[in-house]
Amino acid sequence: MDLFDEIDESQSLKLAEGSTLLRGFALCEQATMLKDLHAVVTLAPFRHMVTPGGFTMSVAMTNCGDLGWVTDKKGYRYDALDPLTGKPWPAMPASFMALARAAAKLAGYSEFTPDACLINRYQVGARMSLHQDKNERDFNQPIVSVSLGVSAVFQLGGFERADKAVKLPLYHGDVVVWGGDSRLRYHGVLPLKVSHHPAFGEYRINLTFRKAG
Ligand code: SIN
Ligand code: FE2
């Protein structure tokens, strides 16, 4: 019996063709995930990366898994090594992998095996402007995005940056999956408001699982 099987499917909300919101889906494994997250960020600390245009990102990032998403003046890409330590990224914890696979399956993507988990840390005022995830090799693979800690407003847009975006509050434990016809939708996060979460303090943590390589 899998813990994730106990999730009530009525908590699942279709946002658009190919995208699903799973309210509270990550709650059942939060204690293990918090412990595993601490282990990952001890080996690969959060850092503010620089965009190719020379801007320092307001969101602090790290990765786990075979590949990690990085940006610097040379561009956006996936790399097997953490540029900060020169070592491979920490292995993806089993709890992360299980959650990502279970969420993808519930959203209709039964074959998802991520090789990359980007970990985003938002502090007050941190934001992510509308963008498409397109550094991955295979757009048939979905994106699984897990929200932990302080809540934030997520924007799910269309296929052009200027398209109107739906604003969606995401709370601790929520998971959004986008793939299929939604895979290249623009998305972003509005500036984080001042708030407090008992386990995460002033921060919002987002885990974004991808099959990158
Ligand atoms: C991302 O697009 O990488 C992050 C999305 C989020 O923080 O919810
Ligand atoms: Fe993204």
Q: What pTM did the predictor assign?
A: 0.95
Q: Is the pLDDT of residue 2 over 80?
A: no
| Ligand 1 atom, smallest distance to 133 CA | 2
Looking at the structure, give the CATH architecture of the domain made up of residues 13-210. Sandwich (2.60)
**What residues contact 42, with CB distance under 8 A and at least 6 apart?**
none
Confidence of residue 10 (pLDDT cuts 50, 70, 90): low
Q: How confident is the model at residue 8 (pLDDT cuts 50, 70, 90)?
A: low
The CB of 206 under 6 Å from ligand 1? The reply is yes
Express each pLDDT in 153-196 by its tens digit. 999 999 999 999 999 999 999 999 999 999 999 999 999 999 99
DSSP structural state of residue 55: P
- Regarding the beta carbon of 63 and ligand 1, being less than 6 Å apart is answered no
pLDDT tens string 19-78: 999 999 999 889 999 999 999 999 999 999 999 999 999 999 999 999 999 999 999 999
- CA-nearest residue for atom 2, ligand 1, is 188
Q: What is the mean pLDDT of residues 123-145?
A: 97
Sorted by sequence, the CB contacts under 8 Å of residue 203 that are 6+ apart come out as 121, 122, 123, 149, 150, 197
The pLDDT, as a whole number, for residue 11 is: 84
Ligand nearest to the CA of 116: 1
Q: Take atom 7 of ligand 1 and give the residue whose Cα is closest.
A: 206
208 lines ligand 1 (CB under 6 A): yes
Q: What is the CA radius of gyration of the chain?
A: 16
* Closest ligand 1 atom to Cα of 145: 8
Give the residue, by CA position, lying nearest to ligand 1 atom 3.
208
DSSP state of 10: G
